[in-house]
Amino acid sequence: MTAMETRTVAVCEASRLIPGRGVAALLPDGRQVAIFLTVDGDCYGLSNIDPFARAAVLSRGLVGESGGRPFVASPLLKQRFDLRTGVCLDDESVAIRTYPVRVVDGVVHVSP
Amino acid sequence: MTRTLVVAGHGMVGHRLVEAVRAEDTEGTWRVVVLAEEPRPAYDRVALTSYVDGWDAQALDLGEHSDIELRLGDPVAKVDRAGRTVVTESGFTQSYDALVLATGSRPFVPPVPGHDLPGCFVYRTIDDLDAIRAAVESAKERKRGRAAAMVVGGGLLGLEAAKALRDMGLSPHVVEMAPRLMPIQVDDGGGNLLRKLVTELDLTVHTGTSAERIEQDGDRLCAKLTNGTELDLDLIVFSAGVRPRDELAREAGLDVGERGGVLVDLSCRTSDPDVWAIGECAAVEGRCYGLVAPGYAMAEIVAAQLLGKDGEFPGADMSTKLKLMGVDVASFGDAHATTEGALEVVLADAVSGYYKKLVVSGDEPRTLLGGVLVGDASAYNLLRPLVGSPLPADPAAMLAPEGASGAVGVDALPDAAQICSCNAVTKGAITDAIRAQGCDSVASIKSCTKAGSTCGSCVPMLSKLLDACGVVQSKAVCEHFAHSRRELFEIVKATRITTFGELIAKHGTGAGCAICKPAVASILATVDTTQGEGGHILDGEQASLQDTNDHFLANMQRNGTYSVVPRVPGGEITPAKLKVIAEVADEFGLYTKITGAQRLDMFGATVDQLPHIWKRLVEAGFESGHAYGKALRTVKSCVGSTWCRYGVQDSVAMAVELELRYRGLRSPHKLKSGVSGCARECAEARSKDFGVIATEKGWNLYVGGNGGILPRHAQLLVSDVDSESLIRYIDRFLMFYVRTADRLQRTAPWIEELEGGLDHLRAVIVEDKLGICDELDAAMAKHVENYADEWRGVLEDPEKLARFTSFVNAPGAPDPTISFTEEREQKVPVLLGVPEVVSR
């Protein structure tokens, strides 16, 4: 992705997000983004695919915080991924892709 | 320069040697050639008897070596020391720079006439067991019934062989020449009890006699014992000790021990400096060791020397603790009181089935010299480290039930006492890890010292050592709450706080995590249904606290789809309802399986499908089975007095009543139950958190059972109670558990942790010792009143329903990553091939 690209995908109304949980969005090319809203009101996007369990489930994990690092814990084998960087807290050699997420006029947008 | 190490023999000790050399020889200075007699690589011979459990040789596998040459089924036949070569049976010649003999031992077969007849076996290898099995099978076929067998030898190995035969469905005779079983390990008192206990397990024991002659009688064997007894048998297993296999050494002119075995010094070198011997074939300064631990020690010191380090055999602790057919036997130190002036203190209780003896020095202070424990060896871990030290308490008090742990504090143990015998970790090493390295939990001691990481039996002692060092062990739920679950429950109950946000703001720190959120959600749900209005677990903020299974009221499976389990109370279901399940599974293309808990599970449902599936199920009268929740799962039942000719009470009706009463109750862990209609116990109620077994007069209630990793039998709480009392006691048991247990603590460890254990529990819920029974009763009554089906609640609420979608921006679009293949006529999941991972 280059800085020139500004194309974003509108996903849903911000009111669909529950603080502390995630939703999944399907990108036009078939990729899946897990979008999370924290209780502090921050939005994050990560690949929806859990690399350990090899299944598209991360949007259905629980959001939490460890020492100030916001994370989502996979609902399958509970590995935690940093919402800001995609780095796995339990195995720092693994990281998943992050996606910038913004809320504009009450609508959630993802940059693919 | 690479040198060649030849290992003759690939048993457990040879295997350990190769592992040690390969692990330490990082430079690759040794080429390793292993020449093995058996047709398969080394396996766990100590666990040989367990081979009978599934006849799966893989289960005994010790793991493959990397980077060695292993020739199976081709043992060394000759050693040419001058030429430094060995020749195998097949004629293969191999030169060596170092040769290690690890040839083990052979079973000793007494020279009884007829010992070599067909039907006579030894007990050492997997092949031996296969041959015994074939003989048992063909004897059973011939006789269309039970085969008869005799084991010659009533020692450790003989009883192992008898257990294997018993596991094959036989009731073997055991013949031991000495006046008691296990004569080396136990004394007469212990031997007598052991005999009584194994006789109850269907063994016939003949002591003080031996086989005089064995004769063939058609396709059977007749054994005559020296005491005149004649036994009519199908097979005979000789398991009367072993003899070192030292013939290679003898032929090569190496020194051998007086009583056999390749003579080696403390560094395990033979009379030829290039040849070593380890394990059962070695006679270290003349003495052979028939246990694996000294063999391993020899392997380690030879590996060290091959790599240029020092190594000396430290001597062996011949203490033994084992479970033979469920009977504990332990022997340590000077078990037979051979030390001059030694005194014996014995506590024997034939009714409870234990025999305990301590051997102490004749003069004050009383030094512990050794002991024998039969029937209950729980004191072994504490006593064995004390050998050689003055006893910290009166010997008789230390033998009393629970006495060892009560009378001997861990602080009484010397620093050199071994706490974890699996990993040889001493008390000193553990207290050092606590004091100097800052270990403050059992988990951190485990990772720091390895203590407690193998069999786990010393974990309670690790906990006591932490206490003794003044470390307050944290019961905190996680980094966000310094409180235990029990304390959080009390806070929520007392303050009537109804949200996680308020609780963490007032009593915790940070924003919470995947541990505290579901734990608090469970507490809020229980307090709500037992004291409040009984809201839905997905109402408001609670939706954000639930694990995915609770959030979608279904069980997530490995490909991200869910399984659906409707409640089938007591396992009783009408044909019409069965038909509905079949139709739903068919219509939505779900894999179906009967669960272990008398229910039907439908797998492979996507998030989007769940409400549609449940709409059909709820319309047909089904409700949530809470298979996804930390809640009551099921009350299993046998068919009971209605149909069964043995039944004495209506177990199905009781199971249905209990399941409907406690459904939906959120608890620290899942809860399972069972009701059996008679003592035959077909519902396996004693493996449940609360199990009910019918009696002629009413019901017996058992609590604290479970399957799982650490299976537990439930213990009897009350007996012969009527239905009303039964339910009252279960109400109180469950409410007390739900309020006071730790997060993810099942009922068995909860009861164990209660001060006073089961007796205390009985005092609280039967005798109302704490005066809380009214409150517990009221809480359960409220729960029953407030119960509502969670799935019906979702179907009636459009906002909750809207969450059941795979993609928030494409409702109804199927998840393209989910796919299935077919196995045995049903669909099964296919996992994603290459996960999307950012390389770092």
Are B519 and B527 in contact, with CB atoms under 8 Å apart?
no
The span from the CA of A17 to the CA of B770, in Å, is 47
Chosen from B803, B805, B808 to mutate, greatest number of chain A CBs within 10 A? B808
How much is the pLDDT for A1? 40
The least confident of A56-60, B387-391, B753-757 is B753-757
Q: What is the pLDDT of residue B406?
A: 44
pLDDT band at B317 (very low <50, low <70, confident <90, very high): confident
Q: Do A50 and B835 touch (CB under 8 A)?
A: yes
> What is the rounded distance in angstroms from the CA atom of residue B184 to the CA atom of residue B163?
19
In this predicted structure, the answer to whether residue B424 has a pLDDT above a threshold of 60 is yes
| Contact between residue A63 and residue A48 where contact means Cβ atoms under 8 Å apart | no
| Distance from C-alpha of B67 to C-alpha of B443, rounded to nearest angstrom | 35
Pick from A31, A35, A55: CB nearest B832: A55
Show Cβ contacts of residue B767 under 8 Å, excluding neighbours closer than 6 positions.
Answer: none
Q: Give the pLDDT score at B103.
A: 96
Nearest chain A residue (CA) to B551: A60
pLDDT at site B402: 53
Q: What CA–CA distance (Å, rounded) separates B162 from B266?
A: 36
Look at residue A56 in the predicted model and tell me its pLDDT.
93
Quote the pLDDT of residue B400.
72
Residue A47 in contact with partner chain B when CB distance is under 8 A: yes
Question: Which of B105-114, B121-130, B358-367 comes out lowest in average pLDDT?
Answer: B358-367
pLDDT at B839 over 60: no
Question: Taking a contact as any Cβ pair under 8 Å apart, which residues of chain A between 67 and 96 contact chain B?
Answer: 67-68, 70-71, 73, 75-76, 78, 80, 86-87, 92-96
User: What confidence tier does B133 reach under pLDDT thresholds 50, 70, 90?
Assistant: very high
Q: What's the pLDDT band for B620 if we cut at 50, 70, 90?
A: very high
Rg (Cα) of chain A, in Å, rounded? 13
Residue B395: predicted pLDDT? 81
User: CB B832 to CB A75 under 8 A?
Assistant: no
The yes-or-no verdict on residue B190 having pLDDT over 90 is yes
Cβ-Cβ pairs closer than 8 A, A with B, add up to 133
Does the pTM of the predicted model rise above 0.80? no
Buried b (16+ CB within 10 A) or exposed e, B599-618: bbbbbbbbbbbbbebbbebb
Alpha-carbon gap: A36 to the closest alpha carbon of chain B (Å): 11
- pLDDT bucket at B386, cuts 50 / 70 / 90: confident
CB atoms B560 and A39 under 8 Å: no
Nearest to B836 among A11, A60, A96 (CB): A96
pLDDT of res. B387: 85
- Whole-number pLDDT of residue B711: 81
Closest CA to B608 of B829, B795, B831, B801: B801
Tell me which of B257-271, B459-473, B484-498 is least confident: B459-473
> Is pLDDT at B100 greater than 50 in this prediction?
yes
* pLDDT average, residue stretch B625-650: 95
Q: What is the pLDDT of residue B225?
A: 95
pLDDT classification of B408: cutoffs 50, 70, 90: low
Taking 50 as the threshold, does the pLDDT of residue B430 lie above it?
Answer: yes
CA of B524 to nearest chain A CA: how many angstroms apart? 17
Top-confidence residue, B468 or B223: B223
**Cis peptide bond upstream of B365, omega within 30:** yes
Give residue B560's pLDDT band: very low, low, confident or very high (50, 70, 90). very high
To the nearest whole Å, the CA of B628 is away from the closest chain A CA by 12
Nearest to B74 by CA among B19, B46, B43, B33: B33
Q: Give the burial class of B492: count Cβ atoms within 10 A of its Cβ; 0-12 exposed, 13-18 middle, 19 or more buried.
A: buried
Q: How confident is the model at residue B405 (pLDDT cuts 50, 70, 90)?
A: very low
| pLDDT at B41 exceeding the cut of 80 | yes
**Are B512 and A64 inside 8 Å of each other by CB?**
yes
Q: What mean pLDDT comes out for the span A24-30?
A: 92
Percent of chain B exceeding pLDDT 70 equals: 96
Using the predicted structure, report yes or no on whether residue A22 has a pLDDT greater than 90: yes
Between B254 and B405, where is the model more confident? B254
Residue A6: per-residue pLDDT: 58
pLDDT of B670 reads: 94
Answer whether A65 sits within 8 Å of B817, measured CB to CB: no
Name the pLDDT band for B474 (thresholds 50, 70, 90). confident
Residue A4: what pLDDT? Answer: 38
Alpha-carbon gap, residue B503 to B493, rounded angstroms: 12
Top residue of B809, B815, B831 to mutate, by most chain A CBs within 10 Å, is: B809
What is residue B840's predicted lDDT score, i.e. its pLDDT? 46
CB atoms within 10 A of CB B722: 11
- CB of A12 less than 8 A from some CB of B: yes
pLDDT, average across residues B717-725: 94
Highest mean pLDDT among B298-307, B434-443, B529-538 belongs to B298-307
In this structure, of B374-378, B379-383, B490-494, the range with the lowest mean pLDDT score is: B379-383
ipTM of predicted complex: 0.92
Given this model, what pLDDT does residue B348 score?
Answer: 87
Percent of chain B with pLDDT over 90: 62
Task: Answer whether residue B417 shows pLDDT above 70.
Answer: yes
pLDDT attached to residue B403: 46
Nearest CA distance, B178 vs chain A (angstrom): 56
Q: What is the mean pLDDT of chain B?
A: 90
CA B407 and chain centroid, separation: 28
C-alpha distance from B794 to closest chain A C-alpha (Å)? 17
Amino acid at A14: A
Query: Is B459 or B675 the better-scoring residue by pLDDT?
Result: B675
Q: Is beta strand B282-284 parallel, antiparallel or unpaired with respect to B262-264?
A: parallel
